[in-house]
Structure 1
């Protein structure tokens, strides 16, 4: 069996690993939510902020473990994965958030109408986030020997997405002076799932671009698809978690948002797995 065939055989465990670790993410949310309701801890402003920052980091750690397991056939150096994670976080803090909040001031208008939510979510938020996550990979690890198979595009792009998600979550915590642990952990898991998932789309296109002669429109198409899915997901998320008002009061639908994010992550990653495997088989026939 050739090296590439061994890699393909090893990736037959991909779906099992993904399912277990996405379930781990959900279990983590359930445990934190249950403990918060049972113990009802009292925090000082400082400890509430610290707890929120910690919760913002943990989902990224779970997903980084998942992608390390995914790449068991030729494990990616942890230093490179963490470096791309850090670069994604840096680009979010230095460019992504300032562009969205200071330049376009999206928080002032993006929820004023359905059209504004969808178009703003795609053209401003989506394209900004997905291009920066693409740039974190394309202008760093992409040109090295460590990027040596199509799946590496998904792995490194997801690491960048997780870095981006972590900064978004930390910004949310800091801006609010901390968060309610129960509701906060759900939001953070949703952001991490979404950013990792849509980065994976761009990563698939990066992997194809590295090892095949794709047309000039290939990468713009990949970034556009990721941005569109990003914007549409955020629009649907807003609809799903919108509070329901009944005679007994208003109910929060944050759990439905987590269900939506989990389903999107499972379906998208399953599709990417199939596409990557098909691409590897195609490369093997040409070898």
Structure 2
């Protein structure tokens, strides 16, 4: 029973990680690096929990403060911190889509441990885990897409555009994450018709960024030339 619950809690994060990894059409990242960032996402859960507890004591836990500062603010800033300091200047970050791969890896590592903790600390059914796979785990993946897309643009920009896109790498996922959390706190849980369109909107915008990042890969033209020659 414990193993089945653990597998159900871990599977959504790994499945989504595989999905975004395989979306890299032209120059796949080393799997070891992707898994390293996934584990890094797991490891930042503890400092996030400590910071969130301290901020809750200091600021209180009103829905808006919790959503945009304590939850989204802490989590997205920690994700950005590790991505910027570990990946941004790494030699493997050599095309815009790489930002999405590594950011979703960190986000899904974080979401997976959250899901495991929830599965073992809360009364859980298969239906509950399915809903969590469709909402918070999927949400974290898409917040990672928004962060990674902007990191990719910053990596291959110049001048003031670098700072602008780095700022967007924090701001965009923080806003979407905050809106999601606020909706979960203030909208009755029976109103799934509100959550589902919101997630569809996130997926629509996320996939557009995936396609845009792939479209500007410098390896796209190299692959096309190889196909023509062959």
Among 26, 35, 41, the residue aligned to 1:82 = 35
Distance 1:60 1:67 in 2: 11
How far apart are 1:78 and its partner, in Å? 1.0
Relative to the length of structure 2, the TM-score reads: 0.82
Distance 1:63 1:192 in 2: 9
- The aligned runs of 1:267-286 (5 Å cut-off) are 267-273=204-210, 275-276=212-213
Distance 2:113 2:180 in 1: 19
**Does 1:224 find its partner at 2:171?**
yes
How far apart are 1:263 and its partner, in Å? 0.3
Relative to the length of structure 1, the TM-score reads: 0.67
Among 98, 101, 110, the residue aligned to 2:50 = 98
1:186 aligned residue = 131
Among 54, 60, 74, the residue aligned to 2:13 = 60
How far apart are 1:275 and its partner, in Å? 4.2
How far apart are 1:274 and its partner, in Å? 5.1
Distance 2:193 2:92 in 1: 39
Structure 2, unpaired ranges of 5+:
222-230
1:217-274 alpha-carbon deviations (Å, 9 max, x no partner):
432332022111101012223455x24xxxxxxxx45x54762464034222133135
Larger radius of gyration: 1
Q: Is the 8 A contact 1:125 1:231 kept in 2?
A: yes
How far apart are 1:161 and its partner, in Å? 0.5
1:76-133 alpha-carbon deviations (Å, 9 max, x no partner):
11111111000011012x2112222x21238x954xxxxx323321122111111111
Structure 1, unpaired ranges of 5+:
1-46, 111-115, 244-251
Q: Is the 8 A contact 2:99 2:151 kept in 1?
A: yes
**Does 1:263 find its partner at 2:200?**
yes
